[in-house]
Amino acid sequence: MASLEISALTKSFDGQEVLRGLDLSVGDGEFWALVGPSGCGKSVLLRNIAGLVTPDSGTIRLAGRDVTRLAPAERDIAMVFQSYALYPHLSVAGNLGIGLRQAGLSRADTAEAVRHVADLLGLGPLMNRLPQELSGGERQRVAIGRAIVRKPSLFLFDEPLSNLDAALRVHMRIEMADLHRRLGRTTIYVTHDQVEAMTLADRIVVMNAGRIEQTGRPMDVYHDPANMFVAGFIGSPRMNFLDAGRLGRPGRHVGIRPEHITVSRVSGAVSGTVDHIETLGSETNLLVRTAELGFVTVRLFGHQEFAANETVHLDFDRQRELYFDAAGQRLR
């Protein structure tokens, strides 16, 4: 069991700053998700914590111990890779047990620990298979099993579900949440999928261009974003950013989520025509072209019929509007 403290971490590759002084403080047993667009530095941060990359400056402390310069093997961590990185020459049982045998555990204790993890993840019937004989979801489970069997003080996940198909991803997401609840280990989880981050994490860290834009509980980040980047990154469909001057609101930009706009065929504050309709059954998304505000995305609950080029009127929920200055910082 361990907390993770990162302070003033920097890293450059070939003169390009990838991490620009990061601070992070993860409590014991918490599940944190690092999210951000490709190239934001989230994977590099994870590799720094894992010890696969050594930072230029700053410190990483795990359970109060400075591990910044320690070899990966000395850190008491376990990482699950996006590619799974299972040993192709070992069976499932071999993959699960090899780390324990290496650590000097007896054959009987290893077999016991492997059986326990196999039961936990439902890998029992697969124990003698080679990785190439497994499906993607099964491989993913073995990779997770290989990490948890060692009982490390910190779990690191590098986009573990991104190679799975959509249905399996949802299933594994639930399993991950369940696993965390049962094991209660400190976890850092990198993903570009905000749904995974929102549903799994205690805390979300939104990163951009080597910096942390905001850290907070999923719903805090969603409802109370610090700036336009976070507001735009979290939430799907994306938040609308409209001209504050034309709406007579403070600041430069008004941010309003598509679900906080109502549509009427009779009257409203802003009029426009329906440009594009996405009917998903559970929800209906409209892209409305307006003369004064440009395109506005609207999200409606349930199945609603609209025709292309139909004239509609929009009303904004003023309570939910967010205001940003010219630099994109939130005005409160």
Interface residue list for another protein (CB under 8 A) = 50-52, 71-73, 76-79, 81, 83, 85, 87-91, 93-94, 96-99, 101-103, 107, 110-111, 114, 128, 130, 146-147, 150, 152, 156
Query: Cβ of residue 93: shortest distance to another protein, in angstroms?
Result: 5
Query: Cβ of residue 46: shortest distance to another protein, in angstroms?
Result: 10
Would you state the structure tokens that stand for residue 271, as one six-digit string? 């009029």
Complex with another protein: residue 143 or 244, whichever CB lies closer = 143
Instruction: Compute the distance between CA of residue 285 and CA of residue 279 in angstroms, rounded to an integer.
Output: 6
Q: How crowded is the C-beta side of 98, counted as CA atoms within 13 Å?
A: 13
Complex with another protein: residue 156 or 231, whichever CB lies closer = 156
Query: Cβ of residue 102: shortest distance to another protein, in angstroms?
Result: 5
Instruction: Compute the distance between CA of residue 46 and CA of residue 60 in angstroms, rounded to an integer.
Output: 11
Are the C-beta atoms of 216 and 24 separated by less than 8 Å?
Answer: no
Query: Cβ of residue 80: shortest distance to another protein, in angstroms?
Result: 9
Query: Cβ of residue 97: shortest distance to another protein, in angstroms?
Result: 4
Complex with another protein: residue 51 or 225, whichever CB lies closer = 51
Complex with another protein: residue 134 or 206, whichever CB lies closer = 134
Q: What are phi and psi of 297, to 5 degrees?
A: -90, 135
Instruction: Compute the distance between CA of residue 114 and CA of residue 105 in angstroms, rounded to an integer.
Output: 12
Complex with another protein: residue 99 or 137, whichever CB lies closer = 99
Q: How open is the CA angle 223-224-230, to the nearest 5 degrees? A: 95
Q: DSSP readout, 241-296? A: EEEHHHHT-SSSEEEE-GGGEEEESS--SEEEEEEEEEE-SSEEEEEEEETTTEEE
Query: Cβ of residue 47: shortest distance to another protein, in angstroms?
Result: 8
Complex with another protein: residue 94 or 237, whichever CB lies closer = 94
